[in-house]
Amino acid sequence: MERHGRRFAGAMNMRRFFLIAVPYGWLLALFLVPFFIVFKISLSDLALAIPPYQPTMKDGIGQMLSAFDFENFVFLTTDDLYWKAYLSSLKIALISTVLALLVGYPMAYAMARAPEEWRPTLMMLVILPFWTSFLIRVYAWVGILSNEGFLNQFLLWTGIIDAPLTIMNTTTAVYIGIVYTYLPFMILPIYAALDRLDESLIEAAEDLGCSRTKAFWLVTIPLSRNGIIAGCFLVFIPALGEFVIPSLLGGSGTLMIGKVLFEEFFNNRDWPVASAVAVILLLILIVPIILFQRNQQRQAESET
Amino acid sequence: MKRASWFNVTSLTLGFAFLYLPMVLLVIYSFNSSKLVTVWAGFSTQWYGELMQNEAFLDAALVTLKVAIASSTLATILGTMAAYVLVRGGRFTGRTLFSGMIYAPLVMPEVITGLSLLLLFIGIGLDRGVLTIVLAHTTFSMCYVSVVVSSRLVSFDRSLEEAALDLGCSAFDAFRLVTLPIIAPAVISGWLLAFTLSLDDLVIASFTTGPSSTTLPIKIWSAVRLGVSPEINALSTLMIGIVTVGVISASLISKRNAVKAQQDMQAAERGAT
């Protein structure tokens, strides 16, 4: 009997081990290991070979390790294309995040104040674009922003402008594209925070002599802080490495690091430099990612 | 406070106009008979006809569907396992690393994920094609599935599982008969999420694909780089239509189920008193 029990426990452990090992192994092999490969190749040199870098494992481990150097990283600092691209990505991501907050907060606020029976529908209207193809949503703006596009046609027709505005292929188009595609990410966490907010707190503030506006700044905004932080990170982090929006709407005039990486890899076929660009981008992103996870953790703790 | 103030109504109207006007214009102008996409010249469905004749698009759509079905199914299995391990797995060595690897891909820029996977596939000498795209898509979408499923598992009363175990169920039967039916809605929405993520992905697929397998987003990308085309508008309209019908019917079904569950609950309460 006891033997049977032990065998049963053994089977349980085997099953538990299997349950943990399969997803764990998958992520190790296809998520973590690839990063080390990127790091390894960022230390290699460009070569006219297949694959187009050297040294490789075939040269022997010792040989390979001794040939590694930080040449590509040094190259990134000397060629101003790269640090300009990093700075311009940071700037574009930051401005887009602020714009998305300015558009998203009033929407989330109005949703939380809407009649109860409307809220599920409003929620669905915010989520629906998220299920629609990202590429198509960005593409839709090409027809609007181009010189003979809908926006210029409309503005010319109303007489606000005499000559078409050039928006397409400028940074402005990129801001519009990022705010448009990531707006649901901003609205949803803020809405969740505002929805939980106890209305009687605002009423109390008003009873105690706060004006409507003052109560908003002193009560509503601080209490929705976690939602604002979460929304900002959810827009800022993906915007920083964005590739599709700057390529499609920004044209050659917009410098963003995701685009530089893509072009370095596919057009110049310089894998070591592309890898070095990726390593630096990752280092820049680690700070906001850690801050974001801390915010989420704090929020989860405050709920329990 | 619940009355509609002009400020709230305006911000919602302007906000939703901003979210939906671009797509509405795209849909309307897909029925334009002119080749000039921004000049209206009368109603026509010719672009849909031309789209149906375009074999390159149809082939790409087929590849995309295959990849999406395979990767979302794999991702749902792996993601549900991962969620179970995260919520119910207790302590084990490397748990922090594990949960880090679940959350990191959600915010990782696609260019980095794509580049790193491509370098892996080349490193191990795997030929690029449908298989490599499936592997890549499974990896990032399993993380989304596991986030969706674990949020459901957290809110789920563990004593139900324990009751099943006490009544003589094996651990697997308890999972199959008790846990799975309860988390099923989350598993299904996880699958749908993984499916749409895969359908939608351009960047990671561009890195991991080979010359023989082109997915629809890659095909659309090479077409839209040349500017707006009525055929792409027609294709976009079809895709928007499918998603809209899908999302609306899914929400109607879940609403009906919620109402039914509530009625059952009330009936049970009446029976109890």
Q: pLDDT value at position A60?
A: 67
**CA B71, CA B142: separation in Å to the nearest integer?**
9
pLDDT at res. A8? 55
Q: Flag whether residue B124 sits within 8 Å of chain A, measured between CB atoms.
A: no
The pLDDT of residue A1:
41
- Gap between the Cα atoms of A19 and B89, Å rounded: 9
From CA A45, how far away is CA A48, in angstroms rounded?
Answer: 10
Strands (E), chain B: none
Q: Cβ contacts (< 8 Å) between B26 and chain A: which residues?
A: 136, 139-140, 143
Q: How far apart are CA B102 and CA B142, in angstroms?
A: 8
Domains and CATH numbers, chain A: 79-303 (1.10.3720.10)
Q: Is A288 exposed, middle or buried (0-12, 13-18, 19+ CB in 10 A)?
A: middle
Query: Could you tell me which of B191, B186, B188 has the C-alpha nearest to residue B152?
Result: B186
Is B81 an interface residue toward A (CB < 8 Å)? yes
| pLDDT number for residue A304 | 55
Retrieve residue A14's tokens: 């085997």
What whole-number distance in Å separates Cα of residue A139 and Cα of residue B92? Answer: 46
CB-based contacts of A261, cutoff 8 Å, min separation 6:
A243, A274, A277, A278, A281, B111, B112, B115
pLDDT in tens, chain A (304 residues): 444 445 556 666 787 888 889 999 999 999 999 999 999 888 888 776 667 777 766 666 766 777 777 888 888 888 888 889 999 999 999 999 999 999 999 999 999 988 888 888 899 899 888 888 889 999 999 889 988 888 888 888 888 888 888 888 889 999 999 999 999 999 999 999 898 887 888 888 888 888 888 888 888 888 888 899 989 998 998 899 899 999 999 888 788 999 889 888 888 888 888 899 999 998 888 888 888 877 777 776 776 5
* pLDDT value for B2: 47
**Which pLDDT score is estimated for A292?**
81
DSSP string of A235-282, one letter each residue? HHHHHHT--HHIIIIIGGG---HHHHHHHHHHTS--HHHHHHHHHHHH
User: Can you give the pLDDT at residue A48?
Assistant: 67
In chain B, which residues have their Cβ closer than 8 Å to the Cβ of A180? 18-19, 22
Q: Count A/B contacts: CB-CB distance under 8 Å.
A: 232
Hey, of B116, B191, B237, which one would you mutate to test binding to chain A, going by the most A CBs within 10 A of its CB?
B116
Q: Is B230 on the interface with A (CB under 8 A)?
A: no
Hey, what domains does chain B have and what are their CATH numbers?
68-223 (1.10.3720.10)
Q: What is the ipTM of this complex?
A: 0.85
CA diameter of chain A: 92
Find the closest chain B residue to A111 by CA distance.
B12
In this prediction, the residues of chain B whose per-residue pLDDT falls under 50 are 1-2
